Structure 1
């Protein structure tokens, strides 16, 4: 059963990455405003239902997942600690949360390239 879960997770991650890659490439090529869910689904060969299982909207696929927040355990640990390096500890828990959220740096870079010139 563990193998099936691992395979399922890998397939899900590959599908999510494929949809995001298609959407980002289309947005870079045509402009964000000219890309629709239908276009993304047709090009990435997925149904709208599949698209919406992964992303809630065109904006969602372009922006990626919502910003990561530290886990309750990390937040409780930060609050409970009385260390002298508060800023260092805070940076550590934020970095941990962020790195667990967007492991694909190539998608992150494309998102940044797309969003920087048109932050709205």
Structure 2
């Protein structure tokens, strides 16, 4: 979907604010960084800052994660692939928060989460919405595959278990990004899916 010039400018300003906020916190620590410092580094006024973010913490953690693309969600439910975990992982990574983002910003932000428990808790809270969405999509996929007469409670448990597995693999991918600087997100996702396939077949 084509964006307008205004939307592109808005996105560029938002990303500049996020990059500078994260960079300053990495350098000075979260408590020492002020909104004024972020504004000065970004070349904007406080008024403009608050048009984008309500708080300093919001700029550091980032904009709300988008929901999963509706078309990709429908395709996921309708697919009959053999590797549900890998497919769910690819859906989340491609549609929500991973692929196509600023790789340095993502890696720096992950470092911050490691060092600042309060920011990690905020990120986990933000993830609750997408976690529920993943679980519902996996449930709908499993219900379609299972057919009539399937145990609904069991299907919900399966969806919940797989969702937690996806989130765990995403954390593994995040740690790989931090450890292997310079390895792009697409390659990391592909390597993780391949590793999952080998590991699950062994198990």
Q: How does 1:84-99 map to 2 (within 5 A)?
A: 84-97=82-95, 98-99=97-98
Cα gap change, 1:99 to 1:43, in 2 (>3 Å): closer
Q: Could you tell me whether the CA contact under 8 Å between 1:24 and 1:62 is conserved in 2?
A: yes
Q: Which runs of 5+ in 2 are unaligned?
A: 119-203
Q: Could you tell me whether the CA contact under 8 Å between 1:69 and 1:94 is conserved in 2?
A: no
Provide TM-score, normalisation by structure 2. 0.49
Cα distance in structure 1, aligned partners of 2:86 and 2:22? 34
Cα distance in structure 1, aligned partners of 2:73 and 2:12? 31
Match for 1:57 among 39, 55, 58? 55
The equivalent of 1:23 in structure 2 is 21
Cα distance in structure 2, aligned partners of 1:26 and 1:71? 32
Give the SS at the match of 1:103.
coil
Superposition misfits of 4+ residues, deviation over 4 angstroms? none
Cα distance in structure 2, aligned partners of 1:110 and 1:69? 23
The equivalent of 1:47 in structure 2 is 45
Cα distance in structure 1, aligned partners of 2:79 and 2:23? 45
The equivalent of 2:139 in structure 1 is none
Q: Which runs of 5+ in 1 are unaligned?
A: none
Q: State the shift of 1:25 in Å.
A: 2.2
Q: CA RMSD in A?
A: 2.5
The equivalent of 2:80 in structure 1 is 82
1:35 aligns with 2:33: yes
Q: State the shift of 1:37 in Å.
A: 1.7
Q: Could you tell me whether the CA contact under 8 Å between 1:38 and 1:48 is conserved in 2?
A: yes
Q: By percentage of residues, which structure has more helix?
A: 2
Q: Could you tell me whether the CA contact under 8 Å between 1:21 and 1:107 is conserved in 2?
A: yes
